Amino acid sequence: MGLESGVTYDAPVNAILNFLLTEPPEAFALDSIEAWWRRHVELVSRFPEPADLALAGGFRADRLGYAFSSGYQAALRFLFPGLPVDKPVALCATEPMGGHPNAIQTRLETTASGFSLTGEKAFVTLGTRAEVLLVVATEGQDEQGRNRLRMVTVDAKRVGIVVSELPELPFVPEVPHAELRLEGVAVSKDEVLPGDGYARYLKPFRTVEDCHVQLGLLGWLIQLARRCGWPEAVREELLSLAVMMRGLAQADPTAASTHVALGGGLALVNRALTSIEPLWAQVDVPTRERWERDRRLLGVAGKVRAKRLEAARVKLAGGSPTPDA
């Protein structure tokens, strides 16, 4: 008697695994942020899942900065699936007083024809290259004196938007950053996204970004490992870490269990980075020198991650985490 299998396999995961294992690991020299974007867009139709796009974009990058950029764009498309696939996007949250919800002073005000945006953003990743802006703004305060935040999507060329390029960072200098000034920018009702701007978008983005940026990093490292002849055991470990992080990227970014698992996942990636230190001697000098310069990027927001992990542990143990953790 024959048995028919009822198992359904995850075709997308096999597609990205085959890509990472068989795609020619070329150097993919990218001489500008525009060249990176063209390369990234070429992959969108092939890998519609944001996690897979982050991995493929990292694999096609020639440095950490562009692998990060692909992860960042993939993270935004995970949280905002209606965004146009052919336009780079930037999240605009951090203000002169910081990125905490209570520091947001950019105002979303009602007008006769819809709404208007007025305020400043102090640090916008890919700000000078973005064609679509996701702006966090306040509608005022609630009864407890907390900001009532909304998320607004707006064309970067809209009248009243002034973008000023910031100096290069000491690491990943190829990734541009900008200040943003909003001077009574007209906004339609359809451009104000539904739901609480903090709870629905800004807070989960921290987790979503961590997952997808790590995927970009791992995709890039797998390409390097294959191109530079690193041991098969190392390549397979990096691939297994990519599968793990891909699963975390598809989990609920608001769940405490996701944060605890992600804490363990990040620790495993950091352990792998330590173990492969001797192998960088096999990498070409320009790539190795950029890595030494840029690896500081991976430690940015480390305190925020530690706070998030501790709050998740407390919540799962039945306690009450601190607000905004």
Domain locations along the chain: 11-80+200-316, 89-192
**Confidence (pTM):** 0.94
Tens digits of residue pLDDT in 220-259: 999 999 999 999 999 999 999 999 999 999 999 999 999 9
- Please, what is the average pLDDT of the chain? 94
pLDDT score recorded for residue 145: 83
DSSP letters spanning 278-307 = GGGGGS-HHHHHHHHHHGGGGGTTHHHHHH
Percent of the chain residues past pLDDT 90, beyond the cut: 88
Topology (CATH level 3) of domain 89-192: Butyryl-CoA Dehydrogenase, subunit A; domain 2 (2.40.110)
pLDDT band at residue 325 using 50, 70 and 90 as cut-offs:
low
Q: Are 72 and 209 in contact (CB under 8 A)?
A: yes
Residue 84 has phi, psi (to 5 degrees) of -65, 135
pLDDT score recorded for residue 144: 85
Residues 262 and 266: their CA atoms lie apart, in Å, by 6
The three-point CA angle 163-165-167 to 5° equals: 155
Token couple for 319: 């306690």
Q: Are 198 and 101 in contact (CB under 8 A)?
A: yes
Which residues are 192's β-sheet partners? Answer: 152
Percent of the chain residues past pLDDT 70, beyond the cut: 95
pLDDT score recorded for residue 1: 47
Which residues are 112's β-sheet partners? Answer: none
**263: CB partners within 8 A, 6+ apart:** 305, 309, 312
Residues 74 and 79: their CA atoms lie apart, in Å, by 9
Contacts of residues 143-146 at CB distance under 8 Å and 24 or more positions apart, as own/partner, are 146/101, 146/102
Tens digits of residue pLDDT in 53-103: 999 999 999 999 999 999 999 999 999 999 999 999 999 999 999 988 999
pLDDT band at residue 324 using 50, 70 and 90 as cut-offs:
low
pLDDT band at residue 320 using 50, 70 and 90 as cut-offs:
confident
Query: Residue 6: is its pLDDT beyond 70?
Result: no
Residue 241 has phi, psi (to 5 degrees) of -65, -35
